[in-house]
Amino acid sequence: MDITIISKKADRLEFLLEGTTPAFANAMRRIMVAEIPVLSVDEVDFHDNTSALYDEVLAQRLGLIPIVFDPKDFNLTSECSCKGKGCSNCEAVFIIEKKGPCTVYSGDMKAANKGTKPTDPRFPIVQLLEKQALKLEAKARLGLGVRHAKHQAAIASYQYYPVVRKAKDGEKYERCPDGLLNTKGAKPAIADVTKADLEGGKCMADGYVVEMDGSKFQFRVETVSGLAPEDIVTLAAKVLEARADEFAKQAKAL
Ligand SMILES: [Zn+2]
């Protein structure tokens, strides 16, 4: 199995995965989306809320704000040494204390734990008018996207990688998107893989067919949480590894 980076940005990673099967690629994709522990606001204590929004609506809005965190700093509450009571190893606390008139933004969430903060300080939470006030304590915990979408780590997808071959007699497919194939040299080659989003999986240009290789995958991972895309990929591998270990342990006991 080989991994080659195609492009890398702060919020998005594109890479080529070779020499594996659709089953493995899909297992990785599903874990990246829904089974990596992600920190999100899970419980809110309201001390004062005279804003136009109900406590429940505000709690929901806080839950959806992505939070930057270091996965090494937090345990799942259910697996923490505090036995689910809640402690600084499994909870990140944020305080908001604002008086109107003003708009309360995610940047107003003051973190009690080091290394945690909203991914962007500009998410609006609620508008406060004259004499309205908001005072609350929010606890963020690790959770999985399968339980609630606020814990989703990434949007992850893949497609089979394009390969080129000479067209057989009578073969006819739609013309390839411009820029996908370079047929000018001695050997035709894929010029830009990002153009290979083919409907029906095949296309043609200048007597050559471009089709998809079922052992090569072009992966796209875009973070929607406080984790970097490259961390999401390595954490997904760890989750799969832990599951394989558990399977081996159970199988050994049979
Ligand atoms: Zn704990």
Instruction: Return the bridge partners of 217, or none.
Output: 17, 160
pLDDT at 198: 67
What does the alpha-carbon distance between residue 68 and residue 72 come to, in Å, rounded to a whole number?
12
What does the alpha-carbon distance between residue 43 and residue 157 come to, in Å, rounded to a whole number?
31
Ligand 1 is an ion; its neighbours by CB within 5 Å are 80, 82, 87, 89-90
Report CA(78)–ligand 1 centroid distance (Å): 8
Task: Give the pLDDT mean for 23-51.
Answer: 96
What does the alpha-carbon distance between residue 57 and residue 92 come to, in Å, rounded to a whole number?
21
Q: 55: closest CA among 160, 134, 131, 145?
A: 134
pLDDT at 230 over 70: yes
Report CA(194)–ligand 1 centroid distance (Å): 44
pTM of the model: 0.83
Report CA(188)–ligand 1 centroid distance (Å): 58
Report CA(154)–ligand 1 centroid distance (Å): 25
Report CA(77)–ligand 1 centroid distance (Å): 5
Across 146-155, 204-213, 238-247, least confident range: 204-213
Mean per-residue pLDDT of the chain: 93
Report CA(246)–ligand 1 centroid distance (Å): 23
Report CA(15)–ligand 1 centroid distance (Å): 36
User: pLDDT tens across 182-202, in order?
Assistant: 888 788 888 887 777 766 678
Percent of the chain's residues with pLDDT above 90: 72
User: pLDDT tens across 133-188, in order?
Assistant: 999 999 999 999 999 999 999 999 998 888 899 999 988 888 888 888 888 878 88
Q: Which backbone phi and psi does 128 adopt, to 5 degrees?
A: -110, 130
Report CA(143)–ligand 1 centroid distance (Å): 13
Domains identified in the chain and CATH numbers: 2-34+154-221 (3.30.1360.10), 38-148 (2.170.120.12)
Report CA(243)–ligand 1 centroid distance (Å): 23
Report CA(74)–ligand 1 centroid distance (Å): 8
pLDDT-based confidence at residue 55 (cuts at 50, 70, 90): very high
pLDDT at 49 over 80: yes
